[in-house]
Amino acid sequence: MIELRPFSNLGSADHGWLKAKHHFSFGSHYDPGNMGHGALRVWNDDEIAPNTGFPAHPHANMEIITYVREGAITHQDSLGNKGRTEAGDVQVMSAGSGIRHSEYNLEPTKTKIFQIWIEPSIQGGAPTWGAKPFPKSDRSGKLITIASGLDGDKDALPIRAQARVLATTLKAGESAEYTPRPARNLYLVPATGAVEVNGVRVNTRDGAAITDEPALKITALQDSELVLVDAA
């Protein structure tokens, strides 16, 4: 089953400095019938104006993955971590027992990110933060795991969830395939372009909630960049 979530139908918020679209219930966009997809709790499509951002605020018991689509985000947290994550790179914060952090766009142009929250498999634990480049040229034509709590995904940023976050870039006409384990919850969003997933067209920034599909064939209808979450 593939349920299309068109970008135009997503919940939204406009704070001036931040323009956000919410694939699931979030903040002032409260939708009790759409509280997540399995362990995937939040998928926000954020556009952050230059020299603005999120001031320091707390999190606990959540795995937070930031996929930078355009520009860069600068992170600082209560553990003393500081880092700048630019387009093509990914950062992961395991909030654990509690952490405070800020995220700013210190660039002269707009920054665009996907912020993805996944519920952890265990509560508490020491919070952590990490970032890593995943050059788009290295994932051309194939799905690359960028964050994971599943055994065997050694090159991915670690998360404390039975979940995997993957990304790929596909040229028009190219295909990538993915075979999930049974009873998994998949969610796919093209950052750019348009793809066909098992015969269903998914346009730029649309969401596709996928369950009970034994295998996925993702074919690019245009040059595309996409992110896929596989969660419990």
Instruction: Sketch the domain layout of the chain as residue ranges.
Output: 2-231
Query: Does 138 score more than 90 pLDDT?
Result: no
pTM to 2 decimals? 0.97
DSSP 170: E
**CB contact at 8 A, 59 and 98:** yes
**Residue 158 pLDDT level (bands cut at 50, 70, 90):** very high
Number of H helices, E strands in the chain: 0, 22
Helices of type H across the chain: none
Instruction: Please give the pLDDT value at position 130.
Output: 97
**Residue 184 pLDDT level (bands cut at 50, 70, 90):** very high
Cβ neighbours of residue 136 closer than 8 Å, sequence gap 6 or more: 88, 169, 225
CATH homologous superfamily of 2-231? Jelly Rolls (2.60.120.10)
pLDDT tens sequence across 63-112: 999 999 999 999 999 999 999 999 989 999 999 999 999 999 999 999 99
Query: Does 195 score more than 90 pLDDT?
Result: yes
**CB contact at 8 A, 77 and 129:** yes
Q: How many CB atoms lie within 10 A of CB 53?
A: 18
**CB contact at 8 A, 107 and 81:** no
Cα(first)–Cα(last) distance of the chain, in Å? Answer: 16
pLDDT tens sequence across 211-224: 999 999 999 999 99
